[in-house]
């Protein structure tokens, strides 16, 4: 069962009216900045440089989702192409077949996936341009997972893109009942799979609820760790991290054969501790003006963040 507060916050995350209201508040500079690098590419690149300087890897997300017009999707492509040019000097040389320190993350709904019957084709074409530029820049790309109504479309677009860009990564959400089977499909050689718990409000018909999500997460990890791909363990949950390290050891995986991932602004001290202990840890770093949906999902994950927000709203 989802808590009523979580459900309310996730419903609010999809409300254009509340988005408009929130954008006009003082929130942007205060609490939002804890989770978002800033509004500009320059701020994102500067923060990425700091993260890389601390020994962590980075994946950068240009904020935006659920695009409803083609011009906006084109603008997102341009933003990624410009970002990739700026990231190329940071990408550096990575060992052949080894992890690339710099990655970008994409949401297909920001690239036109929801633009009617042609949506899939438009998103595929747009993502292809970004993947080609990323290859040139020495940067990895991973496609984010959105709500369950988009999963089939997203996985089929990823499959097509992988024929040209085999290192393209995919996000799977452990809360979806289908995901163990998707993990098995994506556990082959050169496949990179980011496993997260899942951040959207999903019905019990398609998604595990409550504690069952953690059990499903561990089962999915088992499939990925035993497979031949590159698992990306995206969680802040100490029990999930412990399970990942144990399963990686049992599967005989070396440090370069999987990585841990956390969101920018969440458990920073633990991120640095794990990096100091020799783990590869990647930070998911969002930037841009369309922070509202992303930020509301972070509030839904941890009610204490809501208190932080209320304090910021009421302080001078
Ligand atoms: P859980 O929510 O159980 O949290 C465990 C502990 O971590 C909490 O007790 C708290 O201490 C800390 N914590 C977690 N979230 C916090 C927050 N927001 N603020 C402060 N502390 C927090 N989802 C999705 O649907 N599609 C996607 O593409 C992605 N992509 C993605 C990439 C990466 C790198 C990460 C880390 C996560 C995602 N997610 C995602 C989000 C994911 O599905 C999930 O909602 C969050 O990671 C929270 O789940 P945890 O696994 O951290 O566990």
DSSP of 287-307? ESS--HHHHHHHHHH-HHHHH
Annotation marks residue 194 as catalytic: yes
Annotated binding residue at 251? no
Map residue 144 onto helix, strand or coil. coil
Per residue in 67-118, pLDDT (tens digit) is: 989 999 999 999 999 999 999 999 876 666 689 999 999 999 999 999 999 9
- Residue to substitute in 182, 217, 236, 259 for testing ligand 1 pocket (most ligand atoms within 8 angstroms of CB): 236
pLDDT at residue 21 in the model: 73
pLDDT at 12: 82
DSSP conformation letters of 6-29: HHHHHHHTT-HHHHHHHHTSTTII
Nearest to 3 by CA among 300, 308, 305, 304: 300
What is the residue with the minimal CA distance to atom 7 of ligand 1?
Answer: 236
Q: How far is the CA of 298 from the centre of ligand 1 (A)?
A: 8
Could you give the CA distance from residue 148 to residue 84 in angstroms, rounded to a whole number?
A: 29
User: For residues 165, 148, 183 and 100, what is the CA-based torsion angle, rounded to 10 degrees?
Assistant: 40
> Is 234's C-beta closer than 6 angstroms to any atom of ligand 1?
yes
DSSP state of 280: -
ipTM of predicted assembly, 2 dp = 0.96
Is residue 199 annotated as involved in ligand binding? Answer: yes
Residue 247: burial class (beta carbons within 10 Å; 0-12, 13-18, 19+): buried
Determine the average pLDDT of the residues in 129-143.
97
**Helices of type H across 92-211:** 119-137, 151-164, 179-185
- 31 CB less than 6 Å from ligand 1? no
pLDDT score of 183 more than 90: yes
Residue 20 CB-density burial (10 A; 0-12 exposed, 13-18 middle, 19+ buried): exposed
% of residues, the chain, pLDDT over 90: 75
| Average pLDDT of every residue of the chain | 91
Nearest CA to ligand 1 atom 3: 237
Q: Are 79 and 133 in contact (CB under 8 A)?
A: no
Closest ligand 1 atom, residue 261 Cα = 34
CA angle in degrees (0–180, nearest 5) for 268-273-277: 145
pTM greater than the 0.90 cutoff: yes
C-beta 222 within 6 A of ligand 1: no
Find the Cα–Cα–Cα–Cα dihedral 86, 138, 73, 179, rounded to 10°. -130
Find out whether the beta carbon of 174 lies less than 6 Å from any atom of ligand 1: no
Q: Quick check: 316 pLDDT over 50?
A: no
- Give the pLDDT band (50/70/90) at residue 297: confident
Q: What letter would DSSP give residue 203?
A: -
Residues 282-291: what's their mean pLDDT?
Answer: 93
Q: Which residue from 80, 96, 77 is spatially nearest to 88, judged by alpha carbons?
A: 80
DSSP code per residue over 103-129: EEEE-GGGGTTTSGGGHHHHHHHHHHH
Q: Is 211 annotated as a binding residue?
A: yes
């Amino acid at each position: 069962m989802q808590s009523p507060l979580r459900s309310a916050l996730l419903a609010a995350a999809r409300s254009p009216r509340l988005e408009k209201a929130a954008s006009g508040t003082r929130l942007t500079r205060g609490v939002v900045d804890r989770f978002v690098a800033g509004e500009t590419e320059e701020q994102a690149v500067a923060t990425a440089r700091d993260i890389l300087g601390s020994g962590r890897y980075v994946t950068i997300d240009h904020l935006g989702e659920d695009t409803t017009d083609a011009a906006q999707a084109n603008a997102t492509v341009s933003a990624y192409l410009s970002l990739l040019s700026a990231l190329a000097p940071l990408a550096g040389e990575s060992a052949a077949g080894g992890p690339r320190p710099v990655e970008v993350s994409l949401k297909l709904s920001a690239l036109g996936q929801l633009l009617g019957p042609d949506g899939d084709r438009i998103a595929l074409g747009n993502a292809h341009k970004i993947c080609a530029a990323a290859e040139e820049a020495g940067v990895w790309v991973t496609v984010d997972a959105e709500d369950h109504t988009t999963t089939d479309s997203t996985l089929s677009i990823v499959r097509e893109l992988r024929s040209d860009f085999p290192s393209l990564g995919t996000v799977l959400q452990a809360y979806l009942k289908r995901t163990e089977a998707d993990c098995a499909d994506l556990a082959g050689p050169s496949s990179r799979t980011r496993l997260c718990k899942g951040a959207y409000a999903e019905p019990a018909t398609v998604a595990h609820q409550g504690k069952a999500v953690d059990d499903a997460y561990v089962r999915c990890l088992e499939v990925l760790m035993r497979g031949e791909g590159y698992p990306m363990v995206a969680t802040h949950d100490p029990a999930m991290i412990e399970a990942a390290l144990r399963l990686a050891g049992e599967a005989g995986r070396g440090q370069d054969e999987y990585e841990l991932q956390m969101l920018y602004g969440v458990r920073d001290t633990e991120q640095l501790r794990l990096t100091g202990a020799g783990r590869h840890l990647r930070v998911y770093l969002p930037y841009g003006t369309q922070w509202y949906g992303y930020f509301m999902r972070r509030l839904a994950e941890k009610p204490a963040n809501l208190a932080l927000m209320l304090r910021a709203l009421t302080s001078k």
